[in-house]
Chain A
Amino acid sequence: MTMRRPWIVIACAAFIVTLAMGVRQAFGLFLPQMSVSLGIGREGFGLAMALSNLVFGLAQPFIGALADRHGAGRVVFFGTLIYVAGLIGASWIGSAIGLHFTFGFLTGVGLAATTFVVVLGAVGRVVPPERRGLAFGIVTAGGSLGQFLVVPAAQMLLSDLGYRLALIALSGLVAVCAVLAIGVAGKPDSAAEEGPRQSLKDALSEAAGHPSYWLLNAGFFVCGFHIAFIATHFPAYLDDKGLGLGIGASALALVGLFNIFGSYLFGLSGDVWRKNYVLSGLYAARGVVIAVFLLLPLTPFTALAFAGAMGFLWLGTVPLTSGLVGQMFGVRYLSTLYGIVFLSHQVGSFFGAWAAGYFFDRSGTYDWAWGASILLAVFAAIVHLPIRDTAVARPQPA
């Protein structure tokens, strides 16, 4: 590929995920106005959201493969068009089916084409292996910053403009990604990789036969479970315990704030220490933080301290996990292989959000979900230890 200045690629990648992830985090804000205006109820809106998350995860390996084949620039450009079409479409549709297609399907595809998996592939190709942790950390922190800043801005837009105009305004924000796509453009060239050329099929077979790849998938499933459970249910948990709405909202803000710093610093840590050990420590720390939180008496202080600590441990897994995939298998098919790992994350997210609610409805308590979160943290801390993080040996052509 044409070599670009790494910092241009990193900056454009970080801005792309800032905008794409930031707008995505604001989707839920539209629930009250849209469900009433369209007369579809919260279930109808929730289905559109669930579809978006499902499509985001399922499409990711395929869109990652497209990025590996045609370059991240083209994928981000066309993905932006689809994302914008989804948002504008959602602003004028008048039925549940229309909402499911626009807000559900189109935004899901658009997100898969404009977020971490696609842009990290482009960044990985222009940054030397020993600096990838830093570079991936910066891009991930960009996504975290977007989540933190765009949500309150979107709420202001909603309050002032109503949902139709707010959606169009947000689509304008997302449209900027089409310009930023130039910064991550360039067709991947297998000749730029060290070692022999490899087909996509060979790369998939190689990864599928590598036990450490499956351990990474298992670990990232746990990440998705934790994040979805806490983001979805934690404010309700605090409210159930009598701490009130304000503490729950502030807790989410602190998660968003500390996530920015954690994403970056854990990425940077991956350049200093072995990434699988840092991941193991991160998951162990999640388990300890949850256990300590549950053992201490619940007060506003412990709730906010828990939120800050979990926020710090939130998306630090992204630069480390994607970095490990690149370290083990090279960056030629990074987006495809990391896309599959990301799908595992989304499956974990599904269970974290849904199963916690399912068992709460039957038992009236989140004890099961908290217990599962601690056990899964221990499991993830253990499975990352034996990961072989060295580059896979490939036979040289005669």
Chain B
Amino acid sequence: MKKALPWLAPLALVPVALIGLEAWRAQATWIWLSGFVAACF
């Protein structure tokens, strides 16, 4: 179990991921439309 902990640690970020996804859902089309893609590399 102790060995598996580091591999499972990212699960702690799931709540943050859900908040982020909701923020993206609300803003995504605007982000796409306003040229975000030109800047993300």
Contacts and interface: CB of A to CB of B under 8 A. Distances in A.
Do chains A and B stick together as partners? yes
Interface residues of A, number: 51
Chain B, interface residues (CB within 8 Å), range? 20 to 34
A250 B28 contact: yes
Contacts of A42: 35
Interface in B14-28: 16-17, 19-21, 23-28
B9 interface: yes
Interface string B20-40: 110111111111111111111
Interface in A331-370: 349, 352-353
Contacts of B41: 53, 224, 227-228, 231-232, 349, 352-353
Interface string A223-262: 0100110011111100000000110111011001100110
Nearest to A25: B40
A368 to B, nearest CB: 18
Contacts of B24: 148, 151-152, 249-250, 253, 256
Contacts of B6: 134, 268
A29 B31 contact: yes
A145 interface: yes
B34 A155 contact: yes
B38 A151 contact: no
Contacts of A245: 29, 32-33
Contacts of A264: 9-10
A249 B29 contact: yes
Interface in A1-48: 24-29, 31-32, 42, 46
A165 interface: no
B40 A232 contact: yes
Contacts of B13: 145, 260-261
Given A28-B38, A227-B41, A252 B33 contact: no
A253 B38 contact: no
A210 B19 CA distance: 46
Contacts of B23: 149, 152-153, 156
A49 interface: yes
Contacts of A353: 41
B41 to A, nearest CB: 4
Interface in A250-284: 250, 252-253, 256-257, 260-261, 264-265, 268
A159 interface: yes
B37 A151 contact: no
A46 B27 CA distance: 22
A293 B27 CA distance: 26
B28 to A, nearest CB: 3
Given A248-B32, A253-B21, A31 B40 contact: no
B35 A29 contact: yes
A152 B29 contact: no
A250 B31 CA distance: 10
Contacts of A257: 17, 20-21
Given A152-B23, A152-B24, A246 B36 contact: no
27 contacts: A24-B39, A28-B36, A28-B40, A29-B31, A29-B35, A31-B39, A32-B35, A42-B35, A134-B6, A145-B16, A148-B17, A148-B20, A151-B24, A151-B27, A152-B26, A153-B23, A155-B27, A159-B30, A231-B37, A231-B41, A245-B33, A249-B24, A250-B24, A252-B31, A253-B24, A257-B21, A260-B10
Given A32-B35, A252-B36, A252-B37, 6 more contacts: A25-B39, A28-B38, A141-B10, A148-B17, A151-B31, A236-B37
